[in-house]
Every structure is written in structure tokens, then in C-alpha cells.
Chains A and B, each alone.
Chain A
Amino acid sequence: MSRRINHLIAIVALVSLWLPLGARALGSRAAIVENRNLSAAPRVDAGWEFFKELGPYINDHLPLRQRAIKTDAWIDLHLFRENPSFGGNGTPRVISGTNGFLFINDAFTAACSPHVPQVEMADHFARLASIIQASGRRVITAIAPDKSSVIPQFLPDGLLLRKCFDENTDVLWDALRAARIPGFIDLRTLLTEASRRTRRPLFFRKDTHWDSAGSLVAVERIIGELQPDLWDDSLVTDSGTYVYEGDLTGLRGLPEKDEAPAVSVNRPGVSVVKVEQAPGFDQPSNVRTIRGDASGRMVKGRTLFLIDSFGYAALPQLAGFFEDLTTVSLNDYEPRKFIRLINDADTVLIMSNERSLGWRMAKESGSNEFLTLLSSSLERK
């Protein structure tokens, strides 16, 4: 065999195997691509765990990984014309709809294979709110609907789970309405009607969340339930559009930017002071205390938001209505912490997104164990 060909083969193989290390030597560094911190360096004193930690550390810190992911995703999207499914998942997590809309497949699997029956979800949610209300606190409850529940007209044809999704979604919302949940706001109906009326989708095209026009609908209704006259003090400003990066594009490996409406709510006389970690209070960094400091009128007393990313998306519009606001992510469920924070609050807003409701009501803040503990531990106001 030709020696020249042999040399060429060896050089090409060499370059292929050494490319990431070579790139690192030239200063290239791995990017955060999975919405989590890169794995920490393995601990030498960790015994056999050292090797378990070494693999993820190396995998995370290899340069060119992001480029490989993007290339893989590009091949799926442009050669095979389908969304990528990474890591051995059976189905892609992202669904491509019409007009450039993206949806999350998790909403369909959650609807079609719920952790608990929908009636049970609604019942647990009602019990959670009732316990808090019975303790003398004000409670507002809402479920932030998934994009596919509000603007299904942008879903693609031929979705295998479409039929069961439509049926089960209606069953869930009927159950929520029928469960007489204290302080419940039917955001699905509100957003669907508002979308029709304004002819706006009210959700980001490339993101799972409602956009600022959509969150405004929720915010207005929440304030309307708490203290309607506060809304009269507010100034709603439509500033055109702004550029955002959709979480669904990151989920499929090819981050993309898009434009969304920029709607803000200003409260004259109110400035929001963000405190990431209140001093002297044992809490993890996800808890944010926002204190209004103003001559403007606000919801008095201490308010607790138990929310997830939909609530955080609405927070810039909501925060200015509250004198003393603490936010806690429902994802960081810890029974004692939640009870402590509820005890400290005068008003509690609980808002979960639709697709996570089943899990939370079965296993976390709506579980029988937590409800029993809450009922026995909550102090009366």
C-alpha cells in the first residue's frame, strides 16, 4: 500500500482525535449549552468516585462540543427535516408548528400520560389553596397554560398525540373549573379569548412561555382579584419589540433569536428593589425578595409567590404591585421551607404551569404528605 496514503491516513486520524485538545491548547473553551453549570473537576480524595466524576468533567469541558451539537441538530433539521432527539430519546422534545412556532413535546406526554388523574390534580390543588385560605391568608391560584393549550391552531398536522392531548387537556381544565379552588383564575380561557380578540399569539414563537402581551393578561387578572383599583394607577406601555433567544431553540441544539412584543407595566411612584438573598434568613439563592419602596399604592403586607418559570416571566410586570414580595420556585420544593415561607406571608399566589401540575400534585407541593404537614403546621393569621 502506498506509503503516502498511509501517512495521509495517519495525519487525518491524528488531527481528528487531537482536535478538541488542540483547540483547548489554543484557548478555546467549552460553552454552557445544557442550561446547567459545567461539571466540576473530579475530587482526588473522592476514592472510586474520582473516575465517575472524571468522565462528565472531560465531556463537559471538551471544546468544539457546542459545534458538534449544532452540526448534529443542523443535519436533523435541514437534511432529515425533523427536530433532533438527542441522548437516546425516542422522540424529539421540540415540535415544529406552522408560522415558525415551536412547541414542547413534554406538554403532550404530560397530558396523554398524566402522573395522576386530572380530577385528582384539581382536587389536590383545591386542598392546597383551601388549607392556606383557612389559615386566614389570602390566596390566589392559577395554572399557566401550555402554549399548545392556547394556540393549538399553530400545531402541525399529523401529530400522533394530538387527539389524546386535546381530550385530556379539556378534561383537566374542566376538572380545575369544577373543583372550586379558592382564588382560582382560569388563565386558559382568558388567554384564549384575549388571543382571539387581539389576534396576537400571546406566546413566544420559539419559547415555551407567554410573551409580555400574554403575561399582561395574567397580571391584570391577578391584580384584579387582589386589589382592582391598583390597576388604575398603572401605565401599560407597548414599546414595540425586542430580541430574545427561545428556550426551545436551545433545547434542540441550535439557539436562535427572534422578536417578541415588549409590553411593560409601570407603576408611578414605585421602584422595585431586588434582594437576591435576604440577610439572616436561611434560604437558598433561588428565593428573591423584592421590596417596593414607594409612595405609590401597593398590595400591603408580605406576599409569597410559589411559582415556576411562567411566574418569573411575568414578574417584571407584577413586582411593582407588592410592598414586600418573596418568590420561591416550585421546582425547589422542600416541605419545611415552603411551610416556613407560607407562615410568614399574608398573601400567597400559587401558579404552576400546566404540564408540571400532575407531578407537583402527586409528589411535591400538592402531595398528600405535604398537605397533611401543611395543615398541621400552618399558623393561623
Chain B
Amino acid sequence: MVFSDPAFLFAFLPAALLGHWLLRGRSRNPYLILIGSVFYMWSGGSLILLLGTTVTIVYLVGRFIASRPQDRTARSVLALAIIATTGSLVWWKYAGFLSRQLTSVLEVVGVSWRHPVSIVLPIAISFYTFQCISYLVDVYQRRCAPARSLTDFAAYIFLFPHLIAGPIVRFADIEAELVAPPRNKWDDFANGSPRFFWGLAKKIIIADQVAVIANASFALPNDRVTFASAWIGALAFTIQIYFDFSGYSDMAIGLAKMFGFSFHENFNRPYAATSVTDFWRRWHISLSTWFRDYVYIPLGGNRRSSRRTYVNLLIVFTLTGFWHGANWTYLLWGLFHGAWLIIERLTGWSAAPSNALGRRARRLITVVIVSVGWVLFRAVDVSQAWSFITAMARPMLQVPIAVRESLTTQRMFFAIIGLALVLVLGADSIGGRLTRARSIRVDAVRLATVAILGPVALMYALSSDFSPFLYFQF
């Protein structure tokens, strides 16, 4: 179940809010665990026991670490806990992939081994694993106090707005809100709703429409990919992934607000970046800061030699790529970005130009670079990625029929709106302002978002899965 499902919008959310409004005091956190569990199971989480066990163990380890000085024992327990949680993630998410690679390698050397591992991937494991690791490290480094109770810690992990698809929220960021019950639930709902509907509109109205264009392009056989179709697909996916992901983050932030929590922004106009370095300060901020704080800086960051800095960057981006999925294409995408960060450091390109024309030109170049990177991310395998990238360099304007058919008037309209929002208007400043800014104009935009954009988005959500049979099916 995702936030744009009719079942979530018109059944789960209203019921969850009703319970939240009726409950008082300390019953809030157990209630959050309950609805988070229902949400998790409804989203396909049959491995909820794994999640519950992980939460319990991490809580206990956190209490232990906090009770000791930062001595060798505490460090050892911390290290073991990190290895265990990371090992769990590696096993559930990557064992199948690694076993398939091993099978391929063995076949090359003439050994037949037909027992690849096939495991059901637990929903949200990438997110809650990182949250657990950040919690333990922060507790060890005294950046936050341990959770007062297992209930408080479980409420943090099970908080459904971020449970399945982030943002990666740190315990310290919502610790105070977990402890203190919300003061004005009506205001929270009023403050969270515009952000939620804004995110829903981004996902349903723009992302889902543009996705059809991207899908048509990426569905072409490799030998039929053309220059035009590859660029259309790349640009469509560039728009799609931003509106889909940032829209989902907007919904998560809005939902969290409805329940009395304030999440940090996860996107900050990433396509306004003037370099790939700048892009990573604006894109999936919760992930990039997590890798910065828990991998890059412990590795030494940029405090050592230049060569070591470049190695650290490559390590971080390799891991970033792989975190997104068990496929070589994600690894290549991560390395692609890591390589660009190194190039920008070497050339001084990471600093923004001082003049407006220079900044605009660099924005455009950065969008093109990032779009090429998105091809690696979206491709199903390396050979498709290669077909696309080589086609993108061979000018030919023929557009295959399947892609042309996907370019309906409505989709082109929303694609252009999406493009305008990210390149010209800076869509994320709208989202952020809806939650934080205070002025009559912003109030009017908030009202318009809820009164006009919201119902339109809800209408599209309700009709989106309409898939009739031509004839009556009994």
C-alpha cells in the first residue's frame, strides 16, 4: 500500500486520524505502533516479526551503550550491533543477487551450480536498518539520549509516514515530539494537509503521467532505441523520479505533521543545482547526510589527503548506488556520481559561478549530467543502459511508434508543467513554504492546494486503477 492508493487515502488515513484525535496522553505512542504495524503488514510486510525483533534488539543495545562510558566494551557492542544489522540488510537484500553472480562466475569456469538463493525482500529494510544504525551511533556519541522506553523507540521506527519509503529520520530529530503529546491536533492537521495534498498532486498528476512516457521508452528492445527515444526517456524519467520521490517525501512530511511530528526537508530544488556536488546537497537529503555522517566522515571525509578523499567518495557512492537496489546498474549509477564529484573537485567545478548566466549554463549542464545518470538508474540491466547511452550520442530524430503513442496531449502538458516547476519556479520552495512560511499569500496558496489541487489529485487517485474488461467477466 502506498500513500496514493485509494485504500490508504479514503480508509486507512481517515481511520488513523480518527483514532489519533480520540486518544489522549501516553496512549499516543502505542497507537502509532499499532497503526504503523497495520500499515506495514498491509504494504506486504509479512516479515513484521523481523522488524519487531530488530527494533527490540536495537533498543536494548542502545540502553546498554548509553549505560556505559565510551569504552572498548561499548565500542565493541556498537560495532557488533552495526555488523549484525548491516549483515541482516545484506542477507535479505543482496544474497539473491550475490548468489546469481556467483552462479555466473562459476559457469564461466565450467562449474555448474544451480542453487541460487531466492529470498523475499522485507519491506522497508533499507530504511529501518539505517535508522537503527544512526540511533545506535548517535547514542554512543551522546548526540541523543537513548529512548526512554521500548514503546517510544518502536513508535519512532513504526511511525508510518516514514516507515516504508523514508525520509530517513533520526531519533534525535523527533525525540521531543515522541515524548510530549501533541498540543493542538487540529492545527497539526491544518498545517500538514496542504503539504500532503501538494505531494499527492506531484505524484499522481505529474509523476504518474510522465512515467508512461519513460516506460514506453525503456520498454523498447535495445536494437530499436534511437537518439530521440533515449533522450525522451531520459528526460521523462528525470521529471518522473523527482516528482515521484519528492512528492512522496512531501506526503510523508505532511502526514507526519498531521500526527504532530516535524520532519526535515528531503529535497531542495535539486535540478537548480550548479554542479553534481551541489545536486547531492539537494537530492534525498536524509540519505546523503546519513552517508556523510555515518560513512564518509568516519572514513576521514576530506580531512586527509586528496587521494584518500577521492577513495572515500567512491566508497560512499558505491554504497549509495547499491543501497538503492541489488543490480549492477545501481552500482554504476553510484560510481557515475562518485566520479563526477571527483572530477568537480579536480577541476574546481563544484563551486558555483558568480554570474547569473554562468549559473544558468551550469544548471543546464548539471541537469543533463544527472539525466544521463538516471538512465543508469532506470535501465533494467547494463546492456540496456549501454544501448541508451550510445544512442544518446548518435543524433537521429526518428521516434519509435511506441514512444510516439505515449506522447499524448495530456502527458505532454503535465510533463511541461513539471519541467517548468523544476527548472523555472523551484518546486520545493513551494513545498517547504506550505509548511513553514507565514503570510497571507502563502495561506491563500495553502487553501488553494487543499481546496483545488487536493480534490483533483484525489479524483485521479480514485480513477487511476480503472482497468475494465471489454466484456462482462463473471
Q: Is the pair A69, B466 in contact by a Cβ cutoff of 8 Å?
A: yes
Q: Is the pair A253, B463 in contact by a Cβ cutoff of 8 Å?
A: yes
Can you show 7 pairs from A to B with CB atoms below 8 A apart?
A: A2-B443, A51-B41, A80-B413, A82-B408, A88-B211, A88-B215, A250-B468
Interface residue from B11, B211, B463 paired with A68 (Cβ < 8 Å): B463
Q: Which residues of A contact B (CB under 8 A)?
A: 1-2, 5-10, 12-14, 16-21, 33-37, 48, 51-52, 54-55, 58-59, 62, 64-65, 68-69, 71-73, 75-76, 80-82, 85-92, 104, 106, 160-161, 208, 247, 250-251, 253, 285-286, 309
Interface 9-residue window, one of B278-286, B386-394, B397-405, B416-424 = B397-405
Chain B residues closer than 8 Å to A52, beta-carbon distance: 44
Interface residue from A9, A12, A76, A285 paired with B410 (Cβ < 8 Å): A76
Q: Is the pair B466, A87 in contact by a Cβ cutoff of 8 Å?
A: yes
B: contact size bracket: 35 or more
Q: Is the pair A69, B463 in contact by a Cβ cutoff of 8 Å?
A: yes
Q: In the complex where A91-B405, A91-B406 touch, is A16 in contact with B447 (Cβ < 8 A)?
A: no
Q: In the complex where A33-B468, A68-B463 touch, is A82 in contact with B409 (Cβ < 8 A)?
A: yes
Across the interface, name the chain B residue whose C-beta is closest to A34: B468
Q: Is B460 an interface residue (CB 8 A)?
A: yes
Residues in B444-474 with C-beta less than 8 Å from chain A: 446-447, 450-451, 454-455, 458-460, 462-474
Chain B residues closer than 8 Å to A208, beta-carbon distance: 470
Contact with A along B187-210 (1 / 0, CB 8 A): 101110110010000000000100
Q: Is the pair B7, A54 in contact by a Cβ cutoff of 8 Å?
A: yes
Contact with A along B23-63 (1 / 0, CB 8 A): 00000000000000000011010100000000000000000
Q: Is the pair B446, A161 in contact by a Cβ cutoff of 8 Å?
A: no
Give the distance in Å from the alpha carbon of A48 to the alpha carbon of B40 in the complex. Answer: 12
Decide if the interface of chain A is mainly helix, strand, loop or mixed.
helix
Give the distance in Å from the alpha carbon of A92 to the alpha carbon of B411 in the complex. Answer: 12
Q: Is B14 an interface residue (CB 8 A)?
A: yes
Q: Is the pair B471, A10 in contact by a Cβ cutoff of 8 Å?
A: no
Residue among A8, A12, A52, A73 with most chain B CB within 10 A: A12
Q: Is the pair B474, A285 in contact by a Cβ cutoff of 8 Å?
A: yes
Q: Is B161 an interface residue (CB 8 A)?
A: no
Q: In the complex where A21-B10, A160-B405 touch, is A5 in contact with B447 (Cβ < 8 A)?
A: yes
Q: Is B83 an interface residue (CB 8 A)?
A: no
Residue among B5, B10, B208, B440 with most chain A CB within 10 A: B10
Interface residue from A20, A21, A55 paired with B5 (Cβ < 8 Å): A55
Chain A residues closer than 8 Å to B113, beta-carbon distance: none
Across the interface, name the chain A residue whose C-beta is closest to B186: A10
Chain A residues closer than 8 Å to B260, beta-carbon distance: none
Q: In the complex where A7-B190, A10-B193, A90-B215 touch, is A62 in contact with B462 (Cβ < 8 A)?
A: yes
Chain A residues closer than 8 Å to B193, beta-carbon distance: 9-10, 13
Q: Is the pair B194, A6 in contact by a Cβ cutoff of 8 Å?
A: no
Q: Is B13 an interface residue (CB 8 A)?
A: yes
Q: Is B84 an interface residue (CB 8 A)?
A: no
Q: Is the pair A251, B10 in contact by a Cβ cutoff of 8 Å?
A: no
Q: Is the pair B458, A16 in contact by a Cβ cutoff of 8 Å?
A: yes
Chain A residues closer than 8 Å to B438, beta-carbon distance: 1
> Shortest CB–CB separation between residue B294 and chain A, in angstroms?
33
Give the distance in Å from the alpha carbon of A72 to the alpha carbon of B408 in the complex. Answer: 15
Interface residue from B7, B17, B405 paired with A59 (Cβ < 8 Å): B7
Q: Is the pair A72, B467 in contact by a Cβ cutoff of 8 Å?
A: no
> Shortest CB–CB separation between residue B180 and chain A, in angstroms?
21
Cβ-closest 7 pairs across A and B: A13-B193, A68-B462, A10-B190, A34-B468, A35-B469, A72-B463, A58-B7
Q: Is the pair B46, A48 in contact by a Cβ cutoff of 8 Å?
A: yes
Chain A residues closer than 8 Å to B404, beta-carbon distance: 160
Chain B residues closer than 8 Å to A91, beta-carbon distance: 405-406, 408
Chain A residues closer than 8 Å to B440, beta-carbon distance: 2
Q: In the complex where A13-B197, A17-B13, A65-B463 touch, is A309 in contact with B190 (Cβ < 8 A)?
A: no
Chain A residues closer than 8 Å to B159, beta-carbon distance: none
Contact with A along B212-256 (1 / 0, CB 8 A): 100110000000000000000000000000000000000000000
Give the distance in Å from the alpha carbon of A116 to the alpha carbon of B390 in the complex. Answer: 32
Q: Is the pair B14, A18 in contact by a Cβ cutoff of 8 Å?
A: yes
Q: In the complex where A21-B10, A72-B460, A161-B401 touch, is A13 in contact with B454 (Cβ < 8 A)?
A: yes
Q: Is B1 an interface residue (CB 8 A)?
A: yes
Give the distance in Å from the alpha carbon of A73 to the alpha carbon of B468 in the complex. Answer: 13
Across the interface, name the chain B residue whose C-beta is closest to A55: B7
Contacts A13-B189, A20-B10, A90-B402 known; list 19 others, CB within 8 Å.
A2-B443, A5-B443, A6-B190, A10-B193, A13-B454, A16-B454, A16-B455, A34-B466, A35-B470, A48-B41, A51-B42, A68-B458, A68-B459, A71-B459, A87-B465, A87-B466, A106-B470, A160-B401, A247-B471
Give the distance in Å from the alpha carbon of A19 to the alpha carbon of B459 in the complex. Answer: 11
Q: In the complex where A34-B466, A35-B468, A51-B44 touch, is A90 in contact with B212 (Cβ < 8 A)?
A: yes
> Shortest CB–CB separation between residue A82 and chain B, in angstroms?
5
Give the distance in Å from the alpha carbon of A81 to the alpha carbon of B408 in the complex. Answer: 10
Q: Is B295 an interface residue (CB 8 A)?
A: no
Decide if the interface of chain B is mainly helix, strand, loop or mixed.
helix
Q: In the complex where A9-B447, A90-B216, A253-B463 touch, is A36 in contact with B469 (Cβ < 8 A)?
A: yes
Interface residue from B13, B187, B464 paired with A86 (Cβ < 8 Å): B464
> Shortest CB–CB separation between residue A249 and chain B, in angstroms?
11
Give the distance in Å from the alpha carbon of A73 to the alpha carbon of B459 in the complex. Answer: 11
Q: Is B301 an interface residue (CB 8 A)?
A: no
Q: Is the pair B189, A10 in contact by a Cβ cutoff of 8 Å?
A: yes
Chain A residues closer than 8 Å to B1, beta-carbon distance: 55
Residues in B355-408 with C-beta less than 8 Å from chain A: 401-402, 404-406, 408
Q: Is B174 an interface residue (CB 8 A)?
A: no
Chain A residues closer than 8 Å to B459, beta-carbon distance: 68, 71-72
Q: Is the pair B471, A12 in contact by a Cβ cutoff of 8 Å?
A: no
Chain A residues closer than 8 Å to B211, beta-carbon distance: 88
Across the interface, name the chain A residue whose C-beta is closest to B451: A12
Across the interface, name the chain A residue whose C-beta is closest to B465: A87
Q: Is the pair B6, A62 in contact by a Cβ cutoff of 8 Å?
A: yes
> Shortest CB–CB separation between residue B161 and chain A, in angstroms?
15
Q: Is the pair A59, B6 in contact by a Cβ cutoff of 8 Å?
A: yes
Q: Is the pair A58, B6 in contact by a Cβ cutoff of 8 Å?
A: yes
Give the distance in Å from the alpha carbon of A75 to the alpha carbon of B409 in the complex. Answer: 12
> Shortest CB–CB separation between residue A359 and chain B, in angstroms?
14
Q: Is the pair A86, B466 in contact by a Cβ cutoff of 8 Å?
A: yes
Q: Is B9 an interface residue (CB 8 A)?
A: yes
Q: Is the pair B474, A286 in contact by a Cβ cutoff of 8 Å?
A: yes
Give the distance in Å from the alpha carbon of A12 to the alpha carbon of B1 in the complex. Answer: 25
Across the interface, name the chain B residue whose C-beta is closest to A160: B401
Chain B residues closer than 8 Å to A9, beta-carbon distance: 190, 193-194, 446-447, 450
Q: In the complex where A1-B438, A86-B466 touch, is A17 in contact with B14 (Cβ < 8 A)?
A: yes
Q: Is the pair A71, B473 in contact by a Cβ cutoff of 8 Å?
A: no
Give the distance in Å from the alpha carbon of A67 to the alpha carbon of B398 in the complex. Answer: 40
Interface residue from A33, A160, A247 paired with B470 (Cβ < 8 Å): A247
> Shortest CB–CB separation between residue B184 and chain A, in angstroms?
10
Across the interface, name the chain A residue whose C-beta is closest to B461: A68
Q: Is the pair B409, A17 in contact by a Cβ cutoff of 8 Å?
A: no
Across the interface, name the chain A residue whose C-beta is closest to B11: A58
Q: Is the pair B463, A86 in contact by a Cβ cutoff of 8 Å?
A: yes
Give the distance in Å from the alpha carbon of A68 to the alpha carbon of B467 in the complex. Answer: 14
Q: Is the pair B467, A87 in contact by a Cβ cutoff of 8 Å?
A: yes
Chain A residues closer than 8 Å to B189, beta-carbon distance: 10, 13-14
Give the distance in Å from the alpha carbon of A352 to the alpha carbon of B467 in the complex. Answer: 24
Chain A residues closer than 8 Å to B402, beta-carbon distance: 90
Chain A residues closer than 8 Å to B467, beta-carbon distance: 34, 86-87
Q: Is the pair A92, B42 in contact by a Cβ cutoff of 8 Å?
A: no
Chain A residues closer than 8 Å to B455, beta-carbon distance: 16
Give the distance in Å from the alpha carbon of A62 to the alpha carbon of B470 in the complex. Answer: 22
Give the distance in Å from the alpha carbon of A20 to the alpha carbon of B12 in the complex. Answer: 13
Give the distance in Å from the alpha carbon of A86 to the alpha carbon of B186 in the complex. Answer: 36
